[in-house]
Amino acid sequence: MNIAIQRPLNITTDINASRFGVSTDSPDNTAAMQSAFDCCREHPGSRLVVDYGVYRFNTKENILIDGLKDVIISANYSEFIFFGGGFFRVQNCERLLIKDLVIDWDWGKRRLADLYRIEAVDTDKHFFDASNLDTGKVTDEQPWLYTTPYDRLTQTPGCEAKREYAATYVTYLDPSPHVQKMEKVDDNRLRLYHDGVFDDMEPGDLQLVRYVMYGSNAFYVMKSGHVTLQNITVFSVPGMAFYFGDSAHHFHLQNCTVMVRPNSQRSISASADAVHIADTCGHILIEGCDLSFMGDDCINIGESLGYVIEKTGARSLRIQGDRPFEIGDEYAFKRTDYSDMDFTARVAGSAEHDGRQRTLEFDADLPDEVGKATIIYNKKYHSDNYHIRDNYFHENRGRGMLLQCDNGLVEHNRFYKTLAGAINIVSDIQPGLWAEGSGVDTLEVRHNSFKDCNVNDWSALIMMDVHNPDSSGSVPAFRSIYVHHNRFYDFPSRAFEVRYADGMTISDNVFMNPTARQKEKPDRGHISVDRSVNVYIKNNTWFDTGLSEPDALFSVENSEGVEISGNQIRD
C-alpha cells in the first residue's frame, strides 16, 4: 500500500521563535508562540526553529497552528510543559512538518492519576484503606473518578481476575457515584466508604486511580492535508495524544512516542487514546511509533454515526452521536440490520439540545422506514486507506487497535500486554456514550506478533462484531478481511470471534498458550464463526492445546460457506 504524504516544499527562510519572545524564562509562552505561528502563516516556505530548552504554557485555549503552507516547525527536542487545558490545534494547513518535540503536562499543579495499593478491606462497613505508591502521600480533596487494576509485580495495566471500578465517574448506564466518603487516616492511608461495589477488592490489589478521564488533546489536526508529526514524544496529556478529525487527510505519524516519563512517580501517559482518528478523509500512515501506558486504546480509527432517537417531522430527526457536519453535507441511512437504504439527503438545518443530542433538518422528505434506531452517517467522512507498520503497542488500559474503516494494512507491528483485546474490527453503538463505525471493507493484518495481550479477557483476542442494542444483525458489516502469518502467544481467550463477515480468511498463523491461567477457559485459543458467510480458516498451527484433533478448536453457527482445512496441532 502506498500512502503518499507530501512534505513542505521550497523552504527558503529560517525564523527563530525567540524573536517573538519565546523563552525558557517565561512562565507562559502562549502568546509568544502564537505570534511565531502567525508569522509562519504569512511566510510560506519557512522553517520555525525553537532553541533547545524547557518552555512552559499556561492556557485554557488551544494555540492555533492555522493556515500554514509549506512550513517546518523544528523544536530541537525541546520540552513544552502545559497547564490549563490548551495544547495545539492544527487547522487549514497544507504540507506541514512538526518534528523533534517533547510534550508534557504539569503534574506539579494537578496530577492526572496515581497508583494505589489496597491495604485493608471491610465488607461489613463497606470501606477500604489504600496507600499511594506513586507519591507516598494521600489527599481526601481529590475525587476518585475511575480505577483500573494493575499487575502486582510489574505494575502495568491489567491483572487477571481483577476488575475496574467506577468510583464517582457516572454515565447514564451507571448514574450514581459509588464512593460516598473519603477520609485521610494518615499521611499515606486513605479510607473510602462506598455502597458495596468495592467489596470484592483484596489487600495487596493495585488500582490506578484516575482523576481525569477525557480532556484536552496534545495535537488536534483538522481541515488540513499532508501533515507529518515526526519524532514527537508525549509523556502525558489529560486526553488523547494525537487526534485527527474533521476532514483532515493525508497525515503521517512517524517515530512518535507516548510513554510515562522515566523516574517521574507516574503510572499513566495519555488519559485516553494515544491516536484517535475520526471523521477524516483518510490516507493515513503510522509507522515506527511506540505507544504505551495510555488510559484507553493505542489506535482508534473510525467514523461517527448518528443514532436516531425519534422522527420529529417529515424531514427532521432527533439524533444522538454524530459529530462534525456542515449545512449541505450529504447523509446516508442504514436500517437496524445494517443494510443500506436507497436514499440520501442533505442537511438543511440543525438545533443543539443537551450536548449529546441534536435535531437535523434535511432537504427532502424522509422514507417511512426512517425512525427510532435508524443509523445515519455523513458521507463526507471516510477515514479509509491506512497503513500501520513497524510500531510497538504495549501495556495500556484498552485495546491495541479499533479498526472501523475501509482499505487498511496492518503489518510488522508488536502487541504486548494490552489490558483488552489486541484488535477490534467493530461497529459499536452505545446510546448515550458513543456511536462509531459503519463497517469495514478490505483489511489485511499480516506479519504481526501478539504476546500476553488481553490481560483482563475483555473479548476475543481479535474480535469482529456489531454492537447495537437495536440491531437484528442480518447483513454482513465486514467484507474482505485477511489475517495471516501472525504469531499469537499467551492470551486467555478465544483467538478470534468472527460475526457479520462476508469474505474472511484466517491463514498461516501460529497460536501458542504455554502459560497456565488461574482459571482456564475451555475455548482458550479457539476460533468461533457466527452469522457469517464465506469464511476460510486454513493452514494455521496451534501448540500446547491439550487437544489431539484440530476440529475441536472451531465453532461455527448460523453461517454458510465456512471452509476449514490444513490446520494442525503440534506439541
Residues 230-247 pLDDT 10s: 999 999 999 999 999 999
Whole-model pTM: value is 0.95
Share above pLDDT 90 across residues of the chain, in percent, rounded to a whole number: 82
Q: Is the pLDDT of residue 172 over 60?
A: no
The pLDDT value recorded for residue 177 is 86
**pLDDT tens, 534-557?**
999 999 999 977 766 778 899 999
Counted residue by residue, the chain has a size of 571
The pLDDT value recorded for residue 326 is 86
The pLDDT value recorded for residue 320 is 83
Share above pLDDT 70 across residues of the chain, in percent, rounded to a whole number: 96
The pLDDT value recorded for residue 312 is 93
**pLDDT tens, 249-281?**
999 999 999 999 999 999 999 999 999 999 999
Query: Which CATH code, of 2.40.30, 3.40.50, 1.10.287, 2.60.40, is assigned to 306-378?
Result: 2.40.30
**pLDDT tens, 136-164?**
999 999 999 999 999 999 999 999 999 99
Q: Is the pLDDT of residue 35 over 60?
A: yes
Q: Is the pLDDT of residue 173 over 70?
A: no
The pLDDT value recorded for residue 41 is 97
Mean pLDDT in residue range 362-372: 93
Q: Is the pLDDT of residue 414 over 60?
A: yes
Average model confidence (pLDDT) for the chain?
A: 93
Name the CATH superfamily housing domain 13-104+215-302: Single-stranded right-handed beta-helix, Pectin lyase-like (2.160.20.10)
- Reading the block at residue 337, the C-alpha cell is 440490520
Residue 409 to residue 403: CA distance in whole angstroms = 10
Residue 408 is inside which H or E element, if any?
A: strand 408-411
The pLDDT value recorded for residue 122 is 97
Q: Is the pLDDT of residue 134 over 70?
A: yes
Phi/psi for 37 (5° steps) reads -65, -40
Structure confidence at residue 473 as a pLDDT band (50, 70, 90): low
Give the residue from 384, 480, 475 showing the smallest Cα distance to 441.
480
Please, is 132 exposed, middle or buried when counting C-beta atoms within 10 Å of its C-beta (0-12, 13-18, 19+)? buried
Q: How far is CA 77 from CA 29, 80, 231, 280, 290, in A?
A: 17, 9, 8, 29, 17
Q: Is the pLDDT of residue 73 over 70?
A: yes
Contacts of 288 (CB under 8 A, 6+ apart): 254, 255, 256, 390, 391
The pLDDT value recorded for residue 427 is 84
Asked which of 225-229, 464-468, 547-551 is least confident by mean pLDDT, the reply is 547-551
